[in-house]
Amino acid sequence: MDRPVICLADIGTAVKIEAVARMILASLSEWIDRFETLGFRPIRDAWLAAGHRPGHPITVTRGNARLEGTFADIAEDGARRLRCGNLQIEGCWGCRREAHSIPKETCCFW
């Protein structure tokens, strides 16, 4: 993991798992409501604001396959876009989909 993490117990903060679960479920409920009323766009915008910036090195694995490249974008439908040299590879979590044409050449890894 390339982002800082902390164990709250290591700094003397006691957190009950039930309280954490309630907070996660409340937040998830808010995002589901947003999705149902506004579509995927707010989720995409929040992900892009908090996640990797374009050009950040990332590795994608599926089964025994491993692909290294740089983060390119998240499509309007939620598909990940990974750039590998002059290829832009587009896929969604856990499914196969048709790759969309990007300059030079495109393939679908997952």
Residue of 79, 32, 27 whose CA lies nearest to 88: 79
Q: Please name the amino acid found at residue 5.
A: V
Domain count, the chain: 1
Q: How many alpha carbons lie under 13 Å from residue 57 in its C-beta half-sphere?
A: 3
Write down the mean pLDDT value for the chain: 79
Domain range for 76 is 50-107
Q: pTM of the full predicted structure?
A: 0.62
Residue 20 covered by a domain: no
pLDDT under 70 in the chain at which residues?
1-3, 91-110
pLDDT score of 100: 39
10 Å CB burial of residue 91 (0-12, 13-18, 19+) is: buried
The tokens of 12 are what?
């003397």
